[in-house]
Amino acid sequence: MLDRAEGPDVTVGPARGEVAVLRTVQRRIGTPPVVDAARAMSFFGEHAAGWIALGALGAALDVPRRRQWATAVGGVVAAHGASIVVKRVVRRRRPHDPRVAVHVGTPSRLSFPSSHASSTTAAALLYAGLVGGPGVGAASALVPGMALSRLVLGVHYPTDVLAGTVLGTACALGVRRLVRRGSIGRWRTA
């Protein structure tokens, strides 16, 4: 992939279809209020900081299940860390096509997988298990919302967010499996 300055049509190979998806998403729903909401989600999810803070708040307020909250936060951190490791191995560059608007800065130029999608998915799955009821409904909206926000902002290809979601799911399920086996401690819900 070439730099934007090096030519008008810089997308080649398999990413061409993904750029078409990005352009369609941006054209259909990339209104100023949606872009603003996507930027807020991006800020919240940067380095998983918002999810870590939310989990710490859960641990502070839900004293009987503090250990479970701490374990869930560990799962979110693991998902984020795993996504960073995969990014450094794969080294796929972020979308860089003049037809795709980029609406937010990023800490790196690497895009696969989406760390935002990874940590959001892990947080949604692990925290929903602790809050129950309405938390499950909210979690089911969070993951697609965060994934779509990455496309609206023009910073990830669709396969980046799909891979991030899969990685976050794997990390969350791995944490739950360790808890069930007694390696970490019982996951009790109140």
Q: What CATH number is associated with residue 154?
A: 1.10.606.20
Average pLDDT in the 69-95 region? 94
Q: Domain for residue 146, yes or no?
A: yes
Lowest mean pLDDT among 2-6, 17-21, 148-152, 169-173: 2-6
Residue from 51, 174, 156 nearest 113 by CA: 156
Q: Domain for residue 69, yes or no?
A: yes
Output the pLDDT for position 183: 53
Output the pLDDT for position 169: 94
Q: How many domains does the chain have?
A: 1
Q: Domain for residue 78, yes or no?
A: yes
Q: Domain for residue 186, yes or no?
A: no
Long-range contact set of residues 43-48: C-beta below 8 Å, sequence gap at least 24? 45/115, 45/116, 45/119, 45/120, 45/146, 46/107, 46/116, 47/80, 47/107, 47/115, 48/76, 48/77, 48/79, 48/80, 48/115, 48/119, 48/123
Output the pLDDT for position 4: 37
Output the pLDDT for position 3: 35
Output the pLDDT for position 96: 86
Percentage of the chain lying above the pLDDT 90 cut? 62
Full domain range(s) for residue 148: 12-180
Output the pLDDT for position 139: 74
**Residue type (1 letter), 105:** G
Considering only residues 44 and 189, tell me which one the structure prediction assigns the higher pLDDT: 44
Q: Domain for residue 4, yes or no?
A: no
